[in-house]
Amino acid sequence: MNKREIQEIKKQFTPENCAITRIAGCYVDEEKKEVETEFVNIVRVIEDLGYTKKCVYEEDVTGVKDETFKMSMKRILEEYCMEHEGKFFIVYEEICRVKE
């Protein structure tokens, strides 16, 4: 498949007319072997420097259960703010990365 064919398929699957919520693929290396990937949940502490934002701390929270997730985010931010001065906020990301 080339890029044009992939774009045409993507155009047909808009949120209004499709129930698909996630599309996943796989990566292959130069020897055509599949590269293992994993989904991880990351909480990042961001420092607000006015016009710029800077990630100053990150923690993997993949194993945290849903009911304690918000409490974990709050704990991470509170602990970081106790040790540092400035304006900070939390960003949650679910990413897919290559396993090491």
Q: What is the pLDDT of residue 20?
A: 63
pLDDT value of position 6: 74
pLDDT recorded at residue 50: 84
SS3 label, residue 19: coil
Tens of pLDDT, residue by residue, the chain (100 residues): 677 877 777 777 766 666 666 666 666 777 777 777 888 888 889 998 888 888 899 888 887 776 677 788 888 888 888 898 888 988 888 888 877 7
State pTM to two decimals.
Answer: 0.58
Reduce the DSSP state of residue 13 to 3 states and report it: coil
